[in-house]
Structure 1
Amino acid sequence: MIISLRQGLRFIRFIIVFAGLVYLFYHVLDLFNGWISPVDQYQMPTGNAVKVFQETDWPGNGEARLTLAERLRLFYWYGE
């Protein structure tokens, strides 16, 4: 099996260009992520925000009590 020097250098150049483009693409996506995500993801909500998961039911709700598994399934079903 004969491997030419020209083909080997072309392959190495391809790998270097590919790695450089992947690196550049990663950093562009990282900049976009920094731009689109909120400043502090874990700050306390303000305004009309409510807790998603509560340990007790609201009094006078009229609905049957949901188990923990049912509430978790409902939480994931809504996609919140």
Structure 2
Amino acid sequence: MVLSVRKWLNRILFVIIFTLLFLIATGSYRWLVDVIAPVNPYQTPKGASLKVFQADPATAEKGSVTEQLRWFYWYGE
């Protein structure tokens, strides 16, 4: 069996270049996601913000079984 050193060096070079390009692509994707995404989407807003909706869980417990199921499916509680 004849082993060609040139073929193996070409294969190793291909794997190295492929790995480097893969790392560059994934790193740039992570960088792009960090640039586009907000820092913390669940933080409390700053400024003059108002809470416009507040669920009243006490009213859900007073109803019948069907009313409780409706509240469960609607609000996930």
1:33 aligns with 2:47: no
Instruction: For residue 9 of structure 2, give the secondary structure of its aligned residue in structure 1.
Output: helix
Whole-Å separation in 2 of the counterparts to 1:37 and 1:48: 24
> What corresponds to 1:44 in structure 2?
44
- Could you say what the CA RMSD is over the residues aligned between the two structures, in angstroms? 3.1
Whole-Å separation in 1 of the counterparts to 2:5 and 2:13: 12
> What corresponds to 1:10 in structure 2?
10
List alignment gaps of at least 5 residues for structure 2. 61-66
Using the aligned pairs only, state the percent identity: 24
TM-score by length of 2: 0.61
Q: Deviations over 1:24-80 (max 9, x none)?
A: 0011101110111002233124636667xx572768xxxx44253x3478xxxxxxx
Whole-Å separation in 1 of the counterparts to 2:51 and 2:21: 42
TM-score by length of 1: 0.59
Report the CA distance shift for 1:14/1:58 in structure 2 as closer, same or farther (over 3 A). farther
List alignment gaps of at least 5 residues for structure 1. 74-80
Q: Between Structure 1 and Structure 2, whose CA radius of gyration is higher? A: 2
